Amino acid sequence: MNLNLMDVLQGQLPDDLVDQLSSQIGGADRQQTAMAASGIMTTLVSALARNASNEQGAAAIAGALDRDHDGSILNNLAGLLGGQTQAQEGNRALNGAGILQHILGDRQNPAADMISQMSGLNSNQTGNMMQILAPLVMGMLGKTKREQGLDIGGLASLLSGTANSRQAQSNPASSLVTRLLDKDGDGSAVDDIARIGMNVLGNLFKKK
């Protein structure tokens, strides 16, 4: 499958996404916000691809999309990004914290630390942005699944193709994300951030 979820997502996001996110997390630096947003998207898609690498995991993601993530959340991006749309009890489509727990599990805090060190944002800002962006990723994935008529195999193919695309592999941060998500890894990915530098993220959200 040639479809790339990152490309689809970028086409749906507003041009002023970074400015809205920056405002929502307390007026953070725009470049730092863009770097963090790209890092969060990369991490979430990579984690979803890893979770979907076996039939049971792919089926679980497909079930969650069918139940809770039909893409309708994308119809009110301004409200979500501006903070007017709040997660309501039982509304799993908007429950960023719950989505992150399902996708990242015990890798959530290390992922936030890694993205914070890459971008320069503090951990609270990164955590808040992760909770904002996680519902968007799931909403876009659910919408794409529905519009493309993807079965479990097609969904797994979409996720793995996006995570392994030339665009993703050309990002030096992708190897760190892979190590972070690798349960057999030594957990030292965060220690390597300083050698990667500040310019590896942000291409997805650079100013048009």
**pLDDT value for 7:** 82
Provide the domain limits for residue 120. Answer: 5-201
Q: Say which residue, 120 or 167, is predicted with more confidence.
A: 120
Q: pLDDT by residue (tens digit) across 47-64? A: 999 999 999 999 999 999
* C-alpha distances in Å from residue 94, one per residue of 22, 60, 100: 19, 18, 11
Residue 118 in contact with residue 201, Cβ under 8 Å? yes
Whether residue 120 is contained in a domain is answered as yes
Chain-centre distance for alpha carbon 108: 12
Q: Which residues have C-beta within 8 Å of that of residue 160, sequence separation ≥ 6?
A: 49, 52, 53
- 27 confidence band (pLDDT: 50, 70, 90): confident
> Does residue 63 lie in a domain region?
yes
In a domain? residue 206: no
d(CA 122, CA 25) in angstroms, rounded, equals 10
Is pLDDT at 110 greater than 80 in this prediction?
Answer: yes
Q: What is the pLDDT of residue 10?
A: 77
Residue 114 C-beta-side C-alpha neighbours within 13 Å = 28
The pLDDT of residue 9 is 80
pLDDT of 84 reads: 55
- The total of structural domains in the chain comes to 1
208 falls within a domain: no
The mean of the pLDDT values for the chain is 81
Could you tell me if residue 207 is inside a domain? no
Higher-confidence residue of 142 and 199: namely 142
- pLDDT at position 194 is 42
